[in-house]
Structures are given as structure tokens and as C-alpha cells.
């Protein structure tokens, strides 16, 4: 009995410790994301594990988990030689990403119109409400994720996991550019255009839906300002 209780307690404590560690990791991911968005961390800036661990009062393993998460979103680049640094995206890469997306998503829209159920359309409309809430409360990381997820969600509703994965990867390739250079006005405009796309899908109007999707992606690309007028000078992570 004692042994069973001891084993249970050990597992319970392990679960609690993991939950605490996950919470700390989430907090670091959120803090670094916001620092990148606010230009307090510049593209190419190095992120020292020990410095971050000291700053957040956690172990280096927790910091490493956070950096790995950020690298999966392509906000951070991990290099065996240089360690971690803020990803330095290029305008050319973003342009290529949007060119590929326009080709893929035109086909996706055509297929979606042909096979989407009323439940699928209601699910997209519910997603629009989440986008609207994030835009209205000024949640920059949240709105960026949700606005990008709209496109991935369409592929998932079609049951096409391969397309969803491809879109997720393409969107993440320019996630930092979108985070740093999409203005609140442009984000609100994207939300409006998503609504127009869904309206065309609900009307089963293939041509209108394709035109609106293509125009939307062109507008997002053109709205990205790659040279902000007031960009602060690079500095270290001590000022997160």
C-alpha cells in the first residue's frame, strides 16, 4: 500500500513539475514573441541561453524548449555554431512564399466549394469570430496565428492533411515578417477579406471565391512594410 502510494505521489509530482515547466516555457515563448514584434529584438540578434535563463529565473533546459518552439515557428534560427538568433527573413522569401500560396490556394478554394458542407462553412464562420476578437483586443501574436490558421483550417476541413501541412509551413516561413510588419489596419483588412471569401464560399460562387482569395493574398503581401520608419537600434536581450 505504502509503495503504491509512494509511486502515485512520484508520478503526480512529476506531472505537476511538467505542468510548471510547460507554463514557464509558454511564458518565455510569449515574452520573446512580443519582444520580436515590438522590435526590441532585431532580426539576426543572438539569444544566449544562459542570459535568458538568468533573466527569466529558469533553467537553461526550459529556455532551450522555448527556443525550440520558436524555431518551429521560424521566429528563431538555431545553429550548432552560433546558437540561437532571431530569424532574419527577406522580402524576396516572402514574395516567393506568397506566389506559391496563390497557386495552391486557388486550387484549394475550387475544391472547397465543390465539397464543403454547411457545417464546414459554419466552422469557418466561427473561426472568423475568433479572428475578430483577437484583432479588436490588439493581440498581435494571437491575431497573426488566427489569420494564418484560417487558410490551414480550410485544408483541414477538406480532410487534406498534406495541404494543411504545406500551407502551415509556407505561412511559418514568413511569420516573422507578418508579425513585425503587418499593421493593425492591414490585420483588420485581412479579417474583412476572410469574411468576403467565406461569403463567396457560402454562395458556392467558385470564380468570386478564387478572385477574393487571390486578391486577399496580394493585399497581405503588398501591405507588409519591410522598412519601418522608426526602427530601433539593435540591443541585447537584457531589455526584453
* CATH number for the domain harbouring residue 56: 1.10.10.10
Last residue of a domain, one of 88, 119, 141: 88
Residues 157, 62, single domain; the answer is no
Last residue of a domain, one of 35, 61, 88: 88
> What pLDDT is stored for residue 182 in this prediction?
74
- Tell how far CA 239 is from the center of its chain: 24
Residues 72, 167, single domain; the answer is no
Residues 106, 210, single domain; the answer is yes
Q: Contact at 8 Å (CB) between 144 and 175?
A: yes
Q: Could you tell me if residue 230 is inside a domain?
A: no
> What pLDDT is stored for residue 229 in this prediction?
43
Q: pTM value?
A: 0.69
CA distances from 165 to 21, 72, 126, 161, 185 (A): 28, 13, 22, 6, 28
Residues 165, 72, single domain; the answer is no
Q: Contact at 8 Å (CB) between 110 and 197?
A: no
In this structure, the number of other CB atoms found within 10 A of the CB of residue 68 comes to 14
Burial of 228 (0-12, 13-18, 19+ CB in 10 A): exposed
Residues 53, 133, single domain; the answer is no
Residues 111, 167, single domain; the answer is yes
Spatial CA neighbour of 206 closest among 136, 131, 115, 139: 115
Q: Contact at 8 Å (CB) between 101 and 216?
A: no
> What pLDDT is stored for residue 56 in this prediction?
93
The continuous run of DSSP H or E covering 136 comes out as helix 118-136
Residues 122, 202, single domain; the answer is yes
Q: Contact at 8 Å (CB) between 45 and 230?
A: no
> What pLDDT is stored for residue 225 in this prediction?
66
Residues 124, 65, single domain; the answer is no
Residues 103, 50, single domain; the answer is no
Last residue of a domain, one of 50, 69, 88: 88
Spatial CA neighbour of 172 closest among 83, 101, 66, 240: 101
Spatial CA neighbour of 190 closest among 126, 146, 155: 146
Q: Which residues pair with 76 in a beta bridge?
A: 86
Residues 36, 146, single domain; the answer is no
Domain that holds residue 12: 2-88
* Distance, CA of 102 to CA of 48 (rounded, Å): 38
Angle at 169 between CA 74 and CA 154, to 5 degrees: 130
> What pLDDT is stored for residue 13 in this prediction?
53
- Tell how far CA 188 is from the center of its chain: 16
Q: Could you tell me if residue 141 is inside a domain?
A: yes
Write out residues in the chain with pLDDT < 50, as ranges: 1-3, 8, 10, 14, 228-239
Q: Could you tell me if residue 75 is inside a domain?
A: yes
Q: Contact at 8 Å (CB) between 32 and 240?
A: yes
Residues 102, 8, single domain; the answer is no
Q: Could you tell me if residue 236 is inside a domain?
A: no
> What pLDDT is stored for residue 232 in this prediction?
39
Q: Report pLDDT digits (tens) over 63-100.
A: 999 999 999 878 899 998 889 999 887 778 888 989 99
Q: Could you tell me if residue 15 is inside a domain?
A: yes
Number of domain units in the chain: 2
* Distance, CA of 85 to CA of 75 (rounded, Å): 9
Residues 98, 36, single domain; the answer is no
Amino acid at each position: 500500500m505504502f509503495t503504491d502510494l509512494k509511486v502515485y505521489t512520484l508520478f503526480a509530482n512529476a506531472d505537476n513539475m511538467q505542468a510548471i515547466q510547460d507554463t514557464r516555457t509558454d511564458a518565455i515563448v510569449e515574452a520573446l514573441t512580443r519582444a520580436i514584434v515590438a522590435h526590441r529584438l532585431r532580426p539576426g540578434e543572438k539569444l544566449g541561453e544562459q542570459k535568458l535563463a538568468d533573466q527569466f529565473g529558469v533553467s537553461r533546459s526550459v529556455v532551450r524548449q522555448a527556443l525550440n518552439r520558436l524555431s518551429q515557428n521560424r521566429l528563431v534560427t538555431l545553429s550548432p555554431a552560433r546558437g540561437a538568433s532571431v530569424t532574419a527573413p527577406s522580402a524576396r522569401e516572402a514574395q516567393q512564399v506568397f506566389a506559391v500560396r496563390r497557386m495552391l490556394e486557388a486550387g484549394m478554394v475550387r475544391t472547397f466549394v465543390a465539397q464543403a458542407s454547411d457545417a464546414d462553412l459554419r466552422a469557418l464562420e466561427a473561426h472568423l469570430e475568433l479572428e475578430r476578437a483577437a484583432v479588436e483586443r490588439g493581440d498581435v501574436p494571437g491575431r497573426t496565428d488566427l489569420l494564418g490558421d484560417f487558410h490551414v483550417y480550410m485544408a483541414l476541413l477538406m480532410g487534406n492533411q498534406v495541404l494543411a501541412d504545406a500551407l502551415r509551413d509556407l505561412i511559418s516561413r514568413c511569420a516573422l515578417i507578418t508579425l513585425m510588419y503587418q499593421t493593425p489596419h492591414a490585420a483588420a483588412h485581412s479579417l474583412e477579406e476572410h469574411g468576403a471569401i467565406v461569403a463567396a464560399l457560402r454562395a458556392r460562387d467558385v470564380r468570386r471565391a478564387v478572385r477574393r482569395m487571390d486578391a486577399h493574398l496580394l493585399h497581405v503581401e503588398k501591405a507588409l512594410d519591410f522598412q519601418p520608419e522608426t526602427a530601433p537600434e539593435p540591443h541585447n536581450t537584457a531589455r526584453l
